[in-house]
Structure 1
Amino acid sequence: MVSTAKSSKQNGKRSIEAEKSDLQTSKKPRISIDSSDEEYDEPVKQSSDQESEDEDELDELDNLDEQEADGSDQDEGIENGEDIEKNDEKKQDDDTEGKHKEQRKLLKERKQSRKGGAQVQQIKNLWEKLRVKNVPIPKAEREKLSNQVWELSKDCISDLVLKHDASRVVQTLVKYSSKDRREQIVDALKGQFYLLATSAYGKYLLVKLLHYGSRKSRQTIIDELHGCLRKLMRHREGAYVVEDLYVLYASNEQKHQMIREFWGSEYAVFRDDHQGLTIEKACESSVEKRTIIAKNLFGTINASVEKGSTGFQILHAAMRELVHIANDKEINELIEVLHEPFAELVHTPEGSEVACTLIARANAKERKQIIRALRDHTEALIKNEYGAAVFTTLLFCVDDTVLVHKTFGPSIKEHMKEFLVHKYGRRPFLYLLVELDSKYFNPHVTREFNKYIELSKGTSKKPFLQRRHELLSKFAPEFLQTVLENSSDILAENLGCQFISELLVNDEVYELLKEKDQQLFQEVVDNIAITFKGDITEEDHPIHQPISVRLLKALIQGGKWNNKEKKFEPLEKVPCLGVHFAQRFYDEIIDSSNLLSWINNPDSSFTIVALFESLLNKKEGKQFFDDFKKIKGKIQTDNSNKGANLLLRLVKEKNI
């Protein structure tokens, strides 16, 4: 009974504390152009007198609990005690509700007493109507409300933008205003953009102005913030504004202007004198100038990383400037700063270039640290366009191939099926199979990779080809096992089918396999052939995939076309392809009963052409040509079936 009363009084105490908690600020970590649609409650603190009253009240209630706990009236009836407790509970609830009303009244009076408080309240009432989304407001009415809000706020807009509630009003006004009015708002806020950028609430308005503003407005904002970017990058709120400005709204020239500011105060103050200047040219004049620029860049990078801004693209751009001019000592210092958050570099083009350069120039110990930092991000790393380039650089730079396979192997094996059919995920493994083949790596990417290979020559000891072969010998069995278990699914994808072709029609792969893995290779080849068994008139038959025909042609011919040399290159190490595969494929997949169907089907006719060329004048092809002669006269000549027409021309040329 007594414990129930005490619990009730404790609940009353908690309700007061909960009311305080409800008045605390909730703050978004990132800037969004839709922030005006979110609620941001202003922190409200009780006055010291109010808090004192609450504490005295609670002390009295605690004393009452202690007196009741002493049991001075234990001999009285239980029913009397229950009545007393109910009265106490009711009284406590009434007192708590009264205090809440008093707090709300005090809060309202405090807001009204502020500068422009009544005006802000009037503006907010109009804003509540303007921001309604559930029932779209007619354009005429919305424009009318916008005009009313503007008339009330235009003379005091600079006082409104830093308040959490009034700032959201201005954000909505920017969103629904005309171009001319947005220009007026920008003009009215000139001189305060830095203050807005560093304000917990004003930064959202600044991003709204960048998003909805004209090119002229953006240039005005950039010009005013010029000279403050290095300071803003070290500010918790300002860093997000600079990042959004760089990534989303700045032109190429404006981006270069922003980055040059990180070089030092000289380039911030005399920006017009350095337009179009690159960091390499700036450092040509003297060693001292290079040292100063590198020191300024490293200082900004180090401070920003400590603030948690490692993933920002503008910071990656600053890092790229530094690695272009950094000496070995500065590279080592940069790796020391970045090796833990290294995974945050790989999602941007600038960050990827920095990561690849650091990997290429790092020593063995530093590469080990980088590998450890990337270990838990394997899947995201390899599937990312820029992350795949970083992982590929790791493959051809790191001497410790055992460490690379041990670190990344388990995750790669788990997601191998996804990687083999992924646009970016398959690229590092294609490098292992065919090096930097122009079929998969465009000239720009190849130039970049060759640059990293050259940089790694000073830090890597093993020959380039040896590293690739060591890794290929470790990964090739995993490729084969994945293909064996998922051949139908992988063949259904053009990218996957292409990967299978490069895996199987490859002398290096077969030569590097152990004996047991060579048997696995044969199982994969047999399984691929079986996949094509069945009625080719069915829509889901794999022969209807154009890339499947090319795969079969390569397996049947036992080689592939070298586009660079413009010649066919037959395999020399793989015994189960070429004539051997052609014979088995005809005996087990195609026979006299459906040979004519394969020829008359436009999708499969080129496969028969490949069989014809591969088995011509070979003893293994006796059955094929015997069956072919029987149905030769039934072949349909149709302009749409180019494979059948080609086959008939070959028959005529060979007099068969």
Structure 2
Amino acid sequence: MAAKKQDAGDTKKRKRLNTEAPKASKLVASKKHKPDSVAKDNKNKKTAPLTGRERRLHAKELADARKKKRKRHFTLEQELARLWEKMRRHKIAKEDRAKLVTEALRKMKGKIPEIVGSHISSRVLQTCVKHCSQAERDAVFEELRPHFLTLAFSAYAVHLVKKMLDNASKKQLAGFISTLRGHVAPLLRHMVGSIVVEHAYELANAAQKQELLSELYSTELQLFKDLVSLKESRLSDVMSKLGLQKGSVLRHMTSVIQPILEKGIVDHSILHRVLMEYFSIADKSSVTDIIQQLSSPLIVRMIGTRDGAKIGILCVKYGNAKERKKIIKGLKGHIDKTAYHQYGCMVLVCILSVVDDTKLITKVIIRELQSILKELVLDKNGRRLLLQLLHPNSSRYFSPDDLASLNLSIPSLSLKDQSEASFLTETSKVSLGDKESKEDIEVAVDEVNKDKTSADDSDLAESGKKDPFVRRQELLIKSGLADSLLDICIESVGELIRSNFGKEVLYEVATGGSDGIMHPVLDDKINSLHNAVASLAALPKSEDSQEEHVLENFHSSRTIRKLILDCPNFASTLWEKALKGKSELWVHGHSCKVISAFLESPDPTVLKLVKKELQPLIDIGILKNPKPIEQANQ
């Protein structure tokens, strides 16, 4: 019994201990937990999330700290940037800007070559050079003079170099060009350096341009610049005067040109000039390789200069069908911009005159031109494309330089030059003797050369194999271009006939184009255009109108006069619809030329039509007759 009581007491004690233990553990736990929670709260307070502004400021501080370690003049650049923000404002007094510029130059003095490669410092210097005094500008130039070549390769410093050249005196520009001597070819192979050479070339005079070009021709000319004078501006003349070997010159020029073309640095006029000289002396295979390289979208970047457009024309003329196709496709999307360009439009004119693939031309070029047809008609350069199709190679619309560029040839590829060269070679071998036998030999040589040309050079067609008239018909009539052109002329007849440039296109359309290319397919629309012009002329003369009457306007009166002389059908329509019974009203001023044109018409039908009404005006001396009507009728 006692044992059982003891066991029961033990179990009660164990239960009491078990129940008390959790309380004790909770107490201990609560005591331990309190300082941990306090520490955690303190930690959370320290690592509280930063606001967006605080994060940006902190990041900026870190970035500035890294830049200070990396950039020696970081603090100076920061000061210059603050000055620049003030001096570049538009609304700032000149005196205040001059003070800021002087202060910036004072801070940079002695450190310009070191900081000019920085984006910020370069822009600050450009502004300072633009607005500083000449003395300050000269000081900057002198400080940078020993470092120009190094700066020419810097992506940011190059802009300052260009600005310095723009403001340089003649002496300073000459000194800069002399520092480029021996380094022109390496600079042209560099994307940034080529910009400096091109800028110097554009600013240079003729002698300085020749100096830059000559070292690209041969090693001898690179070493001895005084060998070349302005009298020998062409490479062929230089070679003949100095006795340079053609093979050596070609090798040197090829080593200069090829790396530039491989890198695609083809935008600069100095390279275009070099390529033109290269074409003049290079052999057939070398020229063919260059044409093959350029027959791509690269050509679009070249035709913005005079020589670049000539290269484009030569590539079109001497490229094979595949290369011509590449050139045309490369122009896709750039037709409108090219058509308005002074030189680029001549490349398009050449394509319309030479390439036989009229379907491709219609798809790529004509379709794009049709969307801007009215703008083309009124544009000085754009109208040339239309005029070339309406009246090819007319000296009335194309200057002698334009026609000369269309007739350019490459000696080594030209069929004409090759036949002449071989003819001279063969005839020079003929010894002095019987005249008849010599003539027989010359005729035989001509026949040999003709056979040789047709057999060996069939792929070097300077113009297409297709008949030019057929090509014009396909591009002008079948493509629908002429139809659209007539619609534009009829709708805007008043604007076009009074325009300095539009009147020429309207005249050609109204006469049906050269060789009557638009007849008889579009005769109905041409007659509608004649009636539209006659309707304008039939309008009453009004002094209140702000626009001159079509018979009194300088441009339109002369256009109508030409149409009367060259197009009897128009003359009859105009007389019947607008001038019959009103001729006495228009015998003064510019309109007098219109009335006189009826008397000068070579068509007897027109003279007979106006004889009855104009003879009394001649008799009383109001109207002068250049030739008696009776004599004209005879």
Q: Does 1:240 align with 2:186?
A: no
Distance change in 2, residues 1:330/1:587 (3 Å):
same
| Post-superposition offset of 1:470 | 2.6
Rounded to whole Å, the distance in 1 between the matches of 2:575 and 2:492 is 23
2:173 to 218, 226, 232: 218
| Post-superposition offset of 1:354 | 1.0
Give the corresponding residue for 1:521.
526
Asked if 2 retains the 8 angstrom alpha-carbon contact of 1:383 and 1:422, the reply is yes
2:583 to 588, 592, 595: 595
Q: Does 1:490 align with 2:496?
A: yes
Distance change in 2, residues 1:410/1:360 (3 Å):
same
| Post-superposition offset of 1:373 | 1.6
1:445 to 377, 402, 421: 402
* 1:302-348 Cα shifts (integer Å, max 9, x gaps): 2341xxx3323333233223222232222222233222322111111
Asked if 1 retains the 8 angstrom alpha-carbon contact of 2:219 and 2:252, the reply is no
User: Counterpart amino acid of 1:225?
Assistant: L
Give the corresponding residue for 2:250.
291
Distance change in 2, residues 1:465/1:509 (3 Å):
farther
**What pairs with 1:198-277 in structure 2 (closer than 5 Å)?**
198-247=153-202, 249-263=203-217, 265-276=219-230
> Superposition RMSD on alpha carbons, in Å?
3.8
Asked if 2 retains the 8 angstrom alpha-carbon contact of 1:183 and 1:217, the reply is no
Distance change in 2, residues 1:522/1:234 (3 Å):
same
| Post-superposition offset of 1:370 | 1.5
| Post-superposition offset of 1:431 | 3.1
Give the corresponding residue for 1:412.
369
Distance change in 2, residues 1:229/1:528 (3 Å):
same
Rounded to whole Å, the distance in 2 between the matches of 1:421 and 1:238 is 40
Asked if 2 retains the 8 angstrom alpha-carbon contact of 1:397 and 1:453, the reply is no
Give the corresponding residue for 1:318.
274
Q: Does 1:530 align with 2:486?
A: no
Distance change in 2, residues 1:123/1:402 (3 Å):
closer
| Post-superposition offset of 1:497 | 1.8
1:280 to 236, 244, 249: 236
| Post-superposition offset of 1:535 | 0.6
Distance change in 2, residues 1:631/1:136 (3 Å):
same
**What pairs with 1:325-404 in structure 2 (closer than 5 Å)?**
325-338=281-294, 339-404=296-361
Asked if 1 retains the 8 angstrom alpha-carbon contact of 2:498 and 2:550, the reply is yes
| Post-superposition offset of 1:351 | 0.4
Distance change in 2, residues 1:534/1:217 (3 Å):
same
Distance change in 2, residues 1:423/1:326 (3 Å):
same
| Post-superposition offset of 1:392 | 2.0
Unaligned runs of 5+ in 1: 1-83, 560-576, 638-643
Asked if 1 retains the 8 angstrom alpha-carbon contact of 2:534 and 2:578, the reply is yes
Asked if 2 retains the 8 angstrom alpha-carbon contact of 1:264 and 1:296, the reply is no
Rounded to whole Å, the distance in 1 between the matches of 2:611 and 2:560 is 19
Asked if 2 retains the 8 angstrom alpha-carbon contact of 1:401 and 1:470, the reply is yes
* 1:261-312 Cα shifts (integer Å, max 9, x gaps): 333554333333345454224555324213313312332432341xxx3323
| Post-superposition offset of 1:531 | 3.0
| Post-superposition offset of 1:110 | 4.9
Asked if 1 retains the 8 angstrom alpha-carbon contact of 2:390 and 2:513, the reply is no
Unaligned runs of 5+ in 2: 1-40, 416-456
User: Counterpart amino acid of 1:585?
Assistant: L
**What pairs with 1:142-181 in structure 2 (closer than 5 Å)?**
142-181=97-136
Q: Does 1:471 align with 2:472?
A: yes
Aligned to 2:586, the other structure's residue is in SS state: helix
Distance change in 2, residues 1:298/1:609 (3 Å):
same
Distance change in 2, residues 1:204/1:540 (3 Å):
same
Aligned to 1:544, the other structure's residue is in SS state: coil
Asked if 2 retains the 8 angstrom alpha-carbon contact of 1:371 and 1:407, the reply is yes
2:59 to 92, 100, 103: 103
Q: Which one has a bigger Cα radius of gyration?
A: 2
| Post-superposition offset of 1:148 | 4.0
Distance change in 2, residues 1:125/1:404 (3 Å):
closer
Give the corresponding residue for 1:429.
386
2:144 to 184, 189, 194: 189
| Post-superposition offset of 1:502 | 3.0
Distance change in 2, residues 1:595/1:332 (3 Å):
same
Rounded to whole Å, the distance in 2 between the matches of 1:179 and 1:462 is 56
Give the corresponding residue for 2:557.
549
Asked if 2 retains the 8 angstrom alpha-carbon contact of 1:179 and 1:213, the reply is no
* Number of residue equivalences: 532
Rounded to whole Å, the distance in 1 between the matches of 2:99 and 2:373 is 59
* 1:176-210 Cα shifts (integer Å, max 9, x gaps): 33333323222222332122122233222222211
Scaled by the length of structure 2, the TM-score of the pair is 0.73
Distance change in 2, residues 1:371/1:652 (3 Å):
closer
| Post-superposition offset of 1:619 | 9.7
Asked if 2 retains the 8 angstrom alpha-carbon contact of 1:283 and 1:289, the reply is no
| Post-superposition offset of 1:607 | 2.4
Asked if 1 retains the 8 angstrom alpha-carbon contact of 2:117 and 2:154, the reply is yes
Give the corresponding residue for 1:10.
none
Distance change in 2, residues 1:315/1:240 (3 Å):
same
Give the corresponding residue for 2:25.
none
Asked if 1 retains the 8 angstrom alpha-carbon contact of 2:599 and 2:607, the reply is no
Give the corresponding residue for 1:607.
594
Distance change in 2, residues 1:473/1:530 (3 Å):
farther
Distance change in 2, residues 1:491/1:286 (3 Å):
same
User: Counterpart amino acid of 1:490?
Assistant: L
User: Counterpart amino acid of 2:211?
Assistant: Q
| Post-superposition offset of 1:589 | 1.9
Rounded to whole Å, the distance in 2 between the matches of 1:215 and 1:616 is 63
Rounded to whole Å, the distance in 2 between the matches of 1:131 and 1:383 is 35
Give the corresponding residue for 2:507.
501
Asked if 2 retains the 8 angstrom alpha-carbon contact of 1:345 and 1:355, the reply is yes
| Post-superposition offset of 1:649 | 9.6
